Chain A
Amino acid sequence: MSGIPKEFRGIIWQLVSKSKNFQLEEFYLHLKSESSIHEKAIKRDLSRTSFFTNVEQVNKAQELFNVIKSYSLFDPDVGYTQGMIFIAIPLIMNMSEAECFSLLVTLMKEYRLRDLFCPEMKGLHLMLYEFDRLLESYSPVLYNHLVKQGIKSSMYASQWFLTFFAYKFPLDIVLRIYDIIVTQGMESILKFAVNLMLKNEASLLSLSFDNLLEFLKDKLFNIYVHEEFINFKDDSTKRSSGSRFSLLPSSKSSNSTTTTGSAIKGQYYKLDSLVQDSMKINLDPVELTKYENEFENIYNNEKSKVDDIKQIKLENGNLRHKIKELETNYAKLNMDHIEIVQEMVDLKVTLPDVINDNEDLTNSIEQLKCDIQALESKMSESPSTSTSDINSKALPVEIENNIQELLKVNAEETERAVNLEEELSTLLEEQNTLEQELKKYSKSGGWFSWGKKA
């Protein structure tokens, strides 16, 4: 068991995954000539991906760019996500660009790799959850140690899953992992992940936060370095950084393994043991489905929580708006009230004057009435005296006129008095209703103190 021979790797990957699709390859040729909004980002990342730029086939850069760009056009919902380049590198190195595109599409769709790269990265979160549960069941001690140290799997394992370990680890390892993923499905990457954790359990348990993170990111595979290299500590570190750029596991052997007379020539990593150990990790499909359902629940709960919060925030905003509106209305009403009270006070102040005037007038009317009576009785007492007297006739006429006039004035004044009284009573009534209304408001309003108004 030594993985797929490199000469056949590309063909076998395509056969096993049934990715060969002439229609798709033809479509690729069409997409290749189109331009994508992600072009700039892809170019930028390609130029800074050392995994690729140091590889012998730098000339594949253009092809790789074409494939990633075409995929971003083919699947606009996913577009381009950092990490995709790492996934595509092993492909482009083993087949033509059209075949590479076709296999990438197959991996994305049929192997559900797409879920990892889609905007919410739900597939990634699911995989991290499954990894947590597997680790918890295989090594509760290690799982708890990591939890206690405050380390979440997303802090170190995101990059394993998004790049099939290619982000930090050497190509020969990645190719072997790729072999297994293509033949056994995406989940098998969990086997590698869990196995690496278990094999490094002792070291991981002895480390705390900072060192744990460093170890998890860079050193997990050291346990699979051949013993012969471990003796040359300096050499091995040099090798590990150099070897990740090497295409073929055998090509680098020529550099530095001449000193070792070992039978395993040139293998820096014990790849076979890595694969064999990893395959011992059992992924029960029933368990996996259970985990997926659990995850789905948690995911939906979190989502509905977020939605609820959004909803509540919105409602809160509306209510705040309403309160403001009510407050301005209330302030306006309060102003009106003050105005009316002021008016009433003014009226009350003038009221005594009016009443006085009224009294005076009534008095003078009384007086006049008395005068008239006196005159009338005088007239009746002396009917005989100079009835033909012109003067006596002229006098009563004059008096009569005066009386008439006075009566008119009297009537007018009485009317005015009545009017004023009426006005007064309507004002009093108005005041009453206003006071009641105010009481009502102050009761229902409640947040405003009334001050001097009783």
Chain B
Amino acid sequence: MSYPTPATSVKLVLLGEAAVGKSSLVLRFVSNDFQENKEPTIGAAFLTQKCTIGERTIKYEIWDTAGQERFASLAPMYYRNAQAAIVVYDITKPASFIKARHWVKELHEQAAKDITIALVGNKYDLVQDDDEGQGEREGVRKVSVEEGQNLAAEEGLLFYETSAKTSYNVNDVFIGIGNKIPEAASLASSPEQNNNEGRIDLSTNASSNGNRNLCSC
């Protein structure tokens, strides 16, 4: 309500299989920090971070969701009104890429039509060669850059390979999303009208059931 610079709020949700590094990406972006064995997220975590891109200041309101399949019934609540989504997979785990495909499909079917989605292959540090930082360690990578690029091209997504551990490309993801979100769109959905401050607005959604419907199922 009282930010010095008029920041536009962007609601963003992270989705992806368990242990691909969703929370670590957020921790790197928000606190520029990394923890080797980050706790599994239970339920969901909420964080915010401001980010200046050119003339604009964007305030990311980030929902970091639990990755385990079991928690999927909680996810729609977080992505339903999101303007942006980051779908994360682990480039050393093919199954996580399949899961990412599913999330992209679900987002296209269920989320807002103009949602900006970034596909992110995380844990780049694991395939990176120690010596030069150039070239790749052999055999560790299980999802090729092309596979990621192709999926992104097919579905109209931004695409990055990142490392939350080395911070490689992490900020670029958020800058890329910020650039792709039209100013008007983020303005239109920003605060004022109601007290929600443009956050994940569940009350309007729930009104049909007198505010007491279940989140998603």
Contact = CB atoms under 8 A, between A and B. Distances in A.
Contacts of B66: 82
B217 A148 contact: no
A154 B43 contact: yes
Interface in A119-172: 119-122, 125, 129, 132-133, 147-150, 152, 154-156, 158-159, 162-163, 167
B134 interface: no
A415 interface: no
Interface in B131-182: none
B126 interface: no
Contact of B195 (A117, A148, A158, A213): A148
A155 B44 contact: yes
B197 interface: yes
Given A121-B73, A150-B200, A155-B46, 20 more contacts: A41-B18, A45-B19, A48-B37, A48-B38, A49-B40, A50-B37, A83-B42, A117-B70, A119-B70, A125-B215, A129-B212, A129-B214, A148-B203, A149-B195, A149-B196, A155-B43, A156-B43, A209-B196, A209-B199, A298-B213
Given A298-B214, A303-B217, A81 B197 contact: no
B68 A81 contact: yes
A217 B215 CA distance: 19
Given A49-B40, A158-B74, A152 B197 contact: no
A150 B42 contact: no
B42 A159 contact: yes
Nearest to A81: B70
B212 A132 contact: yes
B201 interface: yes
B46 A213 contact: yes
Given A48-B37, A83-B42, A213-B46, A152 B196 contact: no
B186 interface: no
Nearest to A148: B195
B42 A167 contact: yes
A122 B212 CA distance: 15
Interface in A12-52: 41, 44-45, 47-51
Contacts of A149: 195-196
Contact of A162 (B19, B43, B212): B43
Contact of A48 (B40, B46, B215): B40
Interface string B26-42: 00000000000111101
Nearest to B81: A150
21 contacts: A41-B19, A45-B40, A48-B37, A48-B39, A49-B39, A51-B39, A81-B70, A82-B68, A119-B70, A121-B73, A129-B214, A133-B212, A148-B195, A149-B195, A150-B200, A150-B201, A150-B202, A154-B74, A158-B43, A158-B74, A208-B197
A134 to B, nearest CB: 13
B136 to A, nearest CB: 24
Contacts of A154: 43, 74, 77, 215
A409 B12 CA distance: 96
Q: Which 8 A-B pairs have the closest CB atoms?
A: A158-B43, A48-B37, A159-B43, A159-B42, A150-B196, A213-B46, A82-B40, A82-B68
Contacts of A117: 70
A291 to B, nearest CB: 10
Contact of A125 (B43, B70, B214): B214
Nearest to B43: A158
Nearest to B74: A154
Q: Is the interface of A mostly helix, strand, loop or mixed?
A: helix
A14 to B, nearest CB: 27
A210 B46 contact: yes
B70 to A, nearest CB: 5
B58 to A, nearest CB: 15
A302 interface: yes
A448 interface: no
A117 to B, nearest CB: 7
Contacts of A50: 37, 39
A114 to B, nearest CB: 13
Contacts, number: 106
Interface in A282-305: 294-295, 298-299, 302-303
B42 A302 contact: no
B128 interface: no
Contacts of B38: 48
Given A50-B39, A82-B40, A125 B196 contact: no
Contacts of A147: 203, 211
Contact of B73 (A47, A120, A163): A120
A189 B214 CA distance: 20
A306 B73 CA distance: 13
Contacts of B211: 147
Contact of A47 (B37, B45, B202, B209): B37
Contact of B42 (A132, A158, A299): A158
Point out which of B1, B40, B66 has the most chain A C-beta atoms below 10 A from its C-beta.
Answer: B40
B189 interface: no
Contacts of B201: 150
A439 to B, nearest CB: 43
A5 to B, nearest CB: 30
A299 B46 contact: no
Contacts of A210: 46, 48, 61
Interface in A330-355: none
A293 to B, nearest CB: 13
A210 B63 CA distance: 11
B45 to A, nearest CB: 8
B96 to A, nearest CB: 12
Contacts of A83: 42
Nearest to B70: A81
A299 B214 contact: yes
Point out which of A129, A148, A154, A214 has the most chain B C-beta atoms below 10 A from its C-beta.
Answer: A154
Given A82-B18, A120-B73, A298 B196 contact: no
B68 A125 contact: no
Contacts of B214: 125, 129, 295, 298-299, 302
